[in-house]
Amino acid sequence: MRLEEQKNKILRAVEESSDEFPNHLFDFLSTALHFPNRFYRKASWILVVKSFYAALSHNSYKTELALFEPTKENKKGDTGSWEYDGRALHLYSHMLAKEYGWKLEYIYNLKLDYVLPLIQEILLNDQLEKEFQWTMSERSSYYDDKSKTAKANPLPRPGWMQKHIDPVKELKVSKIPVGMMPSGNGYTSADILKAQAS
């Protein structure tokens, strides 16, 4: 974090054409490479620039995090700004560590068949707690003008908690009304196959 702050000072000094630019650059190199500040003041500018880029490359964080590049605006429901590769591992490790007080070394050695039910229980418990708190808020119900009664407005549940609907079983077969039938000569699948064969 100190290097990040010093890098920002260097960038500001360049933008403002400040005389403090060399001092900020030497401070950065001294912090990154653990050489005394006076060493860089005597070195050639090529060595200083090469050292700066080498230190910058070695100490830069490879994963793009919103923490380091915050966006000014975030659309409602947009999580893309803080998504990164490998987030699921960190998210679930954090959940297990927070819930059970386990160290990461212990969590990483657990079997998947043991870990996944625990994660589901944590998520389920969190959702039920949110639903309980939601029932105490004014937004948990609304007044319906048509029926002149209050109706419940439940907190939406994530997809994995909702009832699984089998589209084949839930499909209702109904006849097409005559008025909606296509006009003209209708072709069946058998007619189409005969035409293709000939």
**Residue 19 within a domain:** yes
Q: State which residues form the domain around 11.
A: 2-59
Question: In total, how many domains does the chain have?
Answer: 1
Q: Which two tokens stand for residue 192?
A: 């189409």
Helix (H/G/I), strand (E/B), else coil: 149: strand
Query: What does the CA dihedral 66, 70, 71, 76 come to, rounded to 10 degrees?
Result: 60
Residue 73 lies in a domain: no
Q: Is position 8 within any domain?
A: yes
Asked if residue 43 belongs to a domain, the reply is yes
Within a domain: 14: yes
Task: Express each pLDDT in 137-187 by its tens digit.
Answer: 888 888 888 888 888 888 988 887 877 766 666 667 777 777 776 666 666
CA distance 29 to 48: 8
Would you say residue 171 lies in a domain?
no
The predicted-structure confidence for 92-125, as pLDDT tens digits, reads as follows: 999 999 999 999 999 999 998 898 899 999 999 9
Phi/psi at 36 (5° precision) = -65, 150
- Is 55 among the domain residues? yes
Nearest to 6 by CA among 46, 50, 44, 55: 55
